[in-house]
Amino acid sequence: MFKVKILIAGLMVSALPLQAQTPVYLDDNQPIESRVEDALSRMTLQEKVAMTHAQSKFCSPGVARLGIPEFWMTDGPHGIRPEVLWDEWDQAGWTNDSCVAYPALTCLAATWSPEMSHLYGKSIGEEARYRNKTVILGPGVNIYRTPLNGRNFEYMGEDPYLASRMVVPYVQGVQENGVAACVKHYALNNHEANRHTTNVIVDDRALYEIYLPAFKAAVQEGNTWTIMGSYNLYKDQHGCHNEYLLNDILKGEWGFDGVVVSDWGGTHDTDQAITNGLDMEFGSWTNGLSNGTSNAYDNYYLAQPYLQRIQSGQVGTTELDDKVRRILRLAFRTNMDRNRPYGSMLSPEHYAAARQIGEEGIVLLQNNNQVLPIQTGNKPRIAVIGENAIKMMTVGGGSSSLKVEREVSPLDGIRQRAAGQAEVLYARGYVGDASGEYNGVVTGQDLSDARSADELLAEAVQLAGGVDYVIFVGGLNKSSHQDCEDSDRAGLELPYNQDAVISALAKANKNLVVVNVSGNAVAMPWVKEVPAIVQAWFLGSEAGNSLASVLFGDVNPSGKLPFTFPARLEDVAAHQLGEYPGTPDENGIYQQRYNEGIFVGYRWTDKQKKVKPLFPFGHGLSYTTFAYGKPKADSKTMTADGKLAITVPIKNTGSREGQEVVQLYISDKKSSLPRPVKELKAFEKISLQPGEEKDVTFIIDKEALCYFDDARHEWVAEPGQFEALVAASAGDVRGVVPFVLD
């Protein structure tokens, strides 16, 4: 080892040793754990504490002295949120922070396609990377327990297996870009009313079988780098610093090595934040200023209060070093990875992805008399009616609200597709929410209309009576008490007098198509009056194009419902057996008991012999037809350490190409604990040409037969009789294969 001296401008200076090595923490060729330990050893106590809490609305500090960059978060999960001011929710006023809006996650779940989920994650991850974000705050996988939950549109439905299969490729697609996915809201955040003051009381069996599997899959299969805690309480501790959820299960049982991020304003106690598993604290005073002036962030629970406890000897640094190790691990996986791709923004490929995901997620609920697809051979006249045909849906709904480069409305999409082939007319039909602003993003639409409900209805009915087709585009929107964060719906029914409008249109024209735009199930008292019903979701930037492709038959619908449409709210287990929204105790904490346990969604519907849903879980029609052959197993007996193959032939018996989602449910015929009639354990989406037949084979193992025994705290598969049910939906079983677990 020797030094050289260099003469610069008459001064003799010493250069670095010629053989000096790059510090371990800066060397990409070193194992991440070695880099973590090296960086940790170089940090001061103050630098460590600073890394555990925010320094702005969406940013936490790195260590500039060591070349460790800041961490920048962005809201997802449907697109990259526009930039806000350092300390406020107000817009930063950038002109280059528009994004592509992808369909809501209910639509993604309705594709039943892991390939679409990976495309979604990859595409949104590329946009986040281009904007130099470290973490996307999404996806959400909270279970659909009640159709009143204002945030259901951000989640992946009622079934833990479906959500598990769909979340893994999303996470992997995002993280291929060197951007962390942040799976949320862990856990039991199943409604929005009183979300900060609800203590969920649920048995361990329901917790493990229903509410945790998607998070577990995201951790153990998707290898998500971050998890976001929830606002609600469980076992009287908030989800963002919950000993049982974070330390015992997430980091203990599952071996999670990433970062637990608080939801914004979800931290409430310094001591619990230190010991109960929280790693990074954000938004404790959501405007950044309520607990002080310029030093607000220093007053966060994991800021000066934490540092003072260490300096006074009240607490040690064991927990701090664990938090910082996790944060450094995140840095080396994301913004300190020199090989992370550069990303892209607003690309044709991203718009194509948004359109395709929307097309595959749209669900054809009903199609009596084959009203759909719309035939344009005789240049028909088409009336489009309803506010949701023109209202921008990318703005609003809470933290998933976006600023888009463009949004194609249903009306514009239909007009563009019908150009030269049909005449398209429009009537408002009803006025819902004429506003168009959220958090400083303004749609620019003026939807005000001074006409009375009777005048609007009369215009719509008159128009409907003189055309060949009527397409009513209604449903919910992203206004408060619709599909919106921080508020739940008032009821299952459609708002704004839409039921009366639909019934009147059905009398005026027999070729009526109702397009329901929502992230939730809605009541349909007119279901027998309307020939065609389409569940269209919130479809993002390409909404109108995706919808028009399905309505005109350019794309054969293949979406399946990711949750049950109940006929009545009282048919939902949470409202018949459980508590919603709970009863406040003397401290103002709403105690909410999940008395229905594991019987959520179709699991509950199956128990009710005389109660039929409006549309069952997994339901969705096509413009072609599929015949299911007789399923067969490769053995009549399955050993505890073996596997069983179930094969069923599927044939396209119609006249056009189509995709079918073949579903496999398992039924335990005799168990020492109550079990659902059946549970989804496998599915496959296949494409078939007219007349084509394919065999679909499902491989199941002991895990598919297990239940969680909360008394023993372990998964159990009891020997005995089982059945494999091959189905087109939870309400349409096509074949049964009995077998024995030996």
Which residue bears the tokens 């991020």? 261
Which residue bears the tokens 């933290």? 399
CA distance 687 to 68: 48
Question: How many residues in the chain?
Answer: 742
Instruction: Please count the other Cβ atoms lying within 10 Å of the Cβ belonging to residue 378.
Output: 9
CA distance 98 to 59: 19
| Active-site option among 159, 263, 483, 668 | 263
For residue 634, give the 3-state DSSP assignment: coil
Three-class SS of 640-681: CCCEEEEEEEEEECCCCCEEEEEEEEEEECCCCCCCCCCEEE
Both tokens of residue 67? 């070349």
Contact 292, 312 (CB under 8 A): no
Q: How many helices and strands in the chain, by DSSP H and E?
A: 17, 32
Which residue bears the tokens 């005799």? 670
Q: What is the dihedral of CA 137, 407, 433, 520, to 10 degrees?
A: -50
Read off φ and ψ for residue 584, nearest 5 degrees.
-75, 140
* CB within 8 Å of 171: residues ≥ 6 apart: 121, 139, 181, 183, 218, 222, 223, 224
Query: Chain centroid to CA 349: how far?
Result: 22
Residue of 351, 376, 398 lying closest to 138 (CA atoms):
398
Q: CA angle at residue 102 from 101 to 108, to 5 degrees?
A: 160
CA distance 516 to 561: 13
322 is catalytic: no
Three-class SS of 392-460: CCCCCCCCCCCCECCCCCHHHHHHHHHCCCCEEEEECCCCCCCCCEECCEECCCCCCCCCCHHHHHHHH
Contact 463, 385 (CB under 8 A): yes
Both tokens of residue 68? 């460790």
* CB within 8 Å of 559: residues ≥ 6 apart: 107, 110, 111, 112, 360, 361, 362, 363, 364, 535, 620
Cα dihedral 498, 517, 569, 484 sign: negative
Beta strand 637-638 pairing with 363-367: unpaired
CA distance 112 to 442: 34
Residue of 462, 485, 483 lying closest to 388 (CA atoms):
483
Cα dihedral 281, 70, 174, 559 sign: positive
Rg of the Cα trace of the chain?
A: 27
- The DSSP call for residue 6 is E
Q: Which residues are identified as catalytic?
A: 263
